[in-house]
A and B are shown apart, each in its own frame.
Chain A
Amino acid sequence: MPYGNMEKVDRILESYGDDQSHIITILQKIQSEYRYLPMDVLEYVSDKMEISPAKLFGIATFYENFSLDPKGKYIIKICDGTACHVKKSIPVLEALRKELSLTENKHTTDDLLFTIETVSCLGACGLAPVITINDKVYGKISPEMAVEIIRKLKEEETNANS
């Protein structure tokens, strides 16, 4: 089967051999490389590791962390654990979705800049409600503050590109 350039994937596979028990780690490495799990890459991995593509698809869809769609440059995680939820995390989520024209089913902006995800607990309940943007933590956030942060990031992006 003809595949595109799979050098990066080969390097990841090489470091783990063809040991099927490392498949989760391998998929994680691939996801951090591509920001998602592209279909042709999964088919390539299936071929190399002798795991059926259907099974690989099963693994990739079982774990919330894996994504089969491209994710944005900025991944916004909104905590909806108990503490954040009672501290009104949902209005934050709604405000961000509105700002980025996203919905419950559409998580990533068309320009591939932003992805919104909800998580069950970030472990920072004292700062509720909490969001993280690419591992940077923002605590005690309000819908207005969240939108402000996004607008700033957008501005930075436009400036960087001009």
Chain B
Amino acid sequence: MGTMIIDGRKVEFNGEKNVLEVVRKAGIELPTFCYHSELSLYGACRMCIVEDKNGKIFTSCSTLPKDGMEIYTQTPRLQRYRKNILELLLSNHDRDCTACERTGACELERLATRFSIRDIRFGELDRKHPIDDSSLAIVRNPNKCILCGDCVRMCEEIQGVGALSFAYRGSHMKVAPAFDKAIGETNCIDCGQCRVICPTGAIAIKNETDKFWNLVHDKSKRIIAQVAPAVRVALGEEFGLEPGDITVGKIVAALKMLGVDEVYDTAFAADMTVIAEGEEFVERLTTGENLPLFTSCCPGWVKFAETRFPEILDNISSCKSPQQMFGSVIKEYYKDDEKETVVISIMPCTAKKAEAARKEFQKDGVRDVDLVITTQELAILIKEAGIIFEKLEDESFDMPFGLASGSGVIFGSTGGVAEAVVTRLLKDKPNHICKEVLFKNVRGMDNIKEAVFNIDGKEIKLAVVHGLKNAEKLINKIKAGDKEYHIIEVMACPGGCVAGGGQPASMPIDNEVRKKRAQGLYRIDRASYIKSSEQNPLIVSLFEDMLKDRHDLLHVNREKETGY
């Protein structure tokens, strides 16, 4: 605690981690590229420099606030230096901005505009790096990289993957996978968090909007879209709305205008997942085999487990993810139809692109899900078509795969899958007020969440983790015998799908944004008629009819089909 003097004004500080946070609290927007409160300090971009009363210049992100400290944030020297830094960054940057995926949401572009950089005195980039589009999820363009290292630290510290690192030195330095391999050939799990945090267009979502257009323009095909829960609480951000604002009706209307024939809800498939996974869980509880049960809806997590912890693969649920359940059920439903059926998913996730391409989700070379479009790409499509999103009249999902329970919708938030499965297993269904109390420990943004439930007189220990570094820690504790659970929900991205790699990222994504988006999903749950998945009448009839004796439609035989 103490008082600082910032630009002649007294500012109190209390627990702020560094001078930068105190300055920002004082209402001054110091620019940064490499500072993120959730990542370790790097201090490389030097944009957050401040000057003390003796004329000493230092980076505010890496300095502790001290009582009586007197600093200035806008001296002529600082202004000159910041412009210089920007000019130097831009001189080494591919400035083909109009053809960049990030244009309009690029931090470098934004700051260059803010600091009125009109003339770059240092010439242009002379070395051209090849563009790496080997991944199904992301595209790396090293020519746009400003070496802030955000992606490196995100991948290593939050996701525990470490697919990217700095390599080489001096003017040859670059961010690269091990041995300069293509990113698609590494242990990258396709989560796309590197793309969320990248301030420029150096890492972007693999844009497949052209494939979407080709499909919807082909009138010989029946185009079916499924919309994942998390999309409806984030897409609005691209159209001036707040995180967590629910736009599901407009999304359906927009997809219809874009040429999709039938629009369904992935939350419906999530209801199927809850039933299938609930059954599997009860079975494992009875036999005592392969416990704890890990959830399987997150493809980033599944790939992480395959590469890092192959010994626990038997513990991962054999259920397909909701996306893939939807794909296989729809393709089965329309199998005798004369029109060819195409399934397009609208997902908050880049790893879903890779999941849909996996060989166990294909039949005779035809994919169950033909194309995955992220929330960000949907925004591109809507803008490209000239649709005024804000003015769209709400429309409802089509039937019969458009009715979902609230449980299916909260799949998009960390803790949601666990909550849905427990709700399914509880005999006495809680109302929404009880739910808020009951699942208090399961919701929210804590790294590792634990809860105990009493189901049929049996104590069920549950854990929820998000961010794969946290998953790694938890698995190591379980292996060491320090912890014991019956069921564990894992989502790769911090916050769950609401903060997935395919979501809009024009604002910095922190826990505040993640929470707001998650609250949107819980609001939908509160307002829904059907709380628990097995109460969904369409799900009941589907399980009695088409899904009877069709284990293969909902489950994957990991040993036989995946090669792991």
Contacts and interface: CB of A to CB of B under 8 A. Distances in A.
Interface of A: 39, 42-43, 46, 52-58, 61-62, 68
B178 A54 contact: yes
Contacts of A42: 178-179
A57 B156 contact: no
Interface of B: 156, 161-169, 176-180, 186-187
Contact of A54 (B165, B168, B169): B165
A57 B167 contact: yes
Contacts of B165: 52, 54-55, 57-58
A61 B161 contact: no
B178 A61 contact: no
Nearest to B162: A52
A136 B186 CA distance: 42
A52 B178 contact: yes
29 contacts: A39-B179, A42-B178, A42-B179, A43-B178, A46-B178, A52-B156, A52-B165, A52-B178, A53-B162, A53-B178, A54-B163, A54-B165, A54-B167, A54-B177, A54-B186, A55-B162, A56-B178, A57-B165, A57-B167, A57-B176, A57-B180, A58-B165, A58-B167, A61-B167, A61-B168, A61-B169, A62-B166, A62-B168, A62-B169
A91 to B, nearest CB: 27
Contacts of A55: 156, 162, 165
Contacts of B169: 61-62
Contacts of B186: 53-54
A57 B181 CA distance: 11
A27 B180 CA distance: 19
Secondary structure of the A contact surface, majority rule:
helix
Contacts of B178: 42-43, 46, 52-54, 56-57
A57 B163 CA distance: 11
A129 B186 CA distance: 45
8 cross-chain pairs, A with B, having the tightest CB-CB distances, nearest first: A52-B162, A53-B178, A54-B165, A58-B165, A54-B178, A57-B178, A55-B165, A61-B167
A50 to B, nearest CB: 10
A61 B162 CA distance: 17
A52 B166 CA distance: 12
Contacts of B166: 58, 62
A52 B167 CA distance: 13
A52 B176 contact: no
Contacts of A58: 165-167
Contacts of B187: 53
A46 B162 CA distance: 11
A42 B180 CA distance: 13
Contacts of B167: 54, 57-58, 61-62
A142 B72 CA distance: 59
B17 to A, nearest CB: 25
A161 B167 CA distance: 40
A46 B167 CA distance: 16
A68 B166 CA distance: 16
A58 B168 CA distance: 6
Contacts of A68: 179
A58 B169 CA distance: 9
Contacts of B156: 52, 55
Contacts of A52: 156, 161-163, 165, 178
Contacts of B179: 39, 42, 53, 57, 68
A18 B168 CA distance: 25
Nearest to A64: B169
A39 B162 CA distance: 17
A144 B506 CA distance: 64
Pick the most buried of B161, B163, B165, B177: most chain A CB atoms within 10 A of its CB.
B165
Nearest to A62: B169
A69 to B, nearest CB: 12
A143 to B, nearest CB: 29
A55 B180 CA distance: 11
A53 B181 CA distance: 11
B158 to A, nearest CB: 14
A56 B178 CA distance: 8
A157 B162 CA distance: 45
Nearest to A63: B169
Nearest to B168: A61
Nearest to A55: B165
A56 B180 CA distance: 12
Nearest to A52: B162
Contacts of A39: 179
Nearest to B161: A52
A46 B165 CA distance: 13
